[in-house]
Amino acid sequence: MQEKTEDTRNLIDEYKGLSNDEVIKRLEKKRSNLEVAIENVEHDFNIGTVVRNANNFNVAKVHIIGRKKYNRRGAMCTDKYLEILHWDTVADFLRDQQERGREVVAIENNVPKAEEYPEVKPLALKRFVQKTTLVFGSEGNGLSKEILQGCNDIREIENFGSTRSVNVGVASGIAMYEWARQCLIR
């Protein structure tokens, strides 16, 4: 009699023992309309955390804009179960989003709100639409001016302490949850 080996993958019990292909097939049946994009201005370990959060919220796609390489360790192999697309330029990414009728929402805390971006709102103040793509920047530099100008909306996560922002991996989880709260949870 063969001894059964324990499935040590980072999966909830519902998917334990299934092949990766079977996990993907089952996830596809209940994917959300949410998409997530990361403008990878610099090699950033936090991208792995964003990818892991995207898997947790079962997003439709993850877009990486700019540098394709990132540290996959933070993703904990969850990138196996997601469609990850790479875009060399912001313009190519934005064209894709527009052609597919997506609402592109930047999550950014370091935007000069005065003249150039007067409409930056707290994350939960305005309702999300189903076909939203949330965009996050690199930990150090945030989002580029080019992508901010191409987004339909810019939202920030309010802070109540002395730090100017939360880590981008944490921010992605907060923003994805807020989208899910508004669009999925009834």
Q: How far is CA 50 from the centre of its chain?
A: 5
CATH superfamily of 33-183: SPOUT methyltransferase, trefoil knot domain (3.40.1280.10)
Give the contacts of 6 (CB within 8 A, at least 6 positions apart).
Answer: none
pLDDT at 167: 87
CB 47 within 8 A of CB 135: no
Q: Is the pLDDT at 86 greater than 90, yes or no?
A: yes
Res. 2 pLDDT band, cuts 50 70 90: low
CB 57 within 8 A of CB 66: no
d(CA 109, CA 136): 10
Query: Can you name the residues that pair with 137 across neighbouring β-strands?
Result: 39
**Residue percentage of the chain with pLDDT more than 70:** 85
pLDDT at 26: 93
Kindly give the interhelix angle for 46-56 and 168-183, rounded to the nearest 10 degrees.
20
Q: Is the pLDDT at 67 greater than 60, yes or no?
A: yes
First to last CA, the chain: 48
d(CA 84, CA 89): 15
pLDDT in tens, 120-146: 788 888 899 999 999 999 877 889 999
Q: Is the pLDDT at 60 greater than 80, yes or no?
A: yes
Q: Spell out the domain ranges in the chain.
A: 33-183
d(CA 136, CA 34): 14
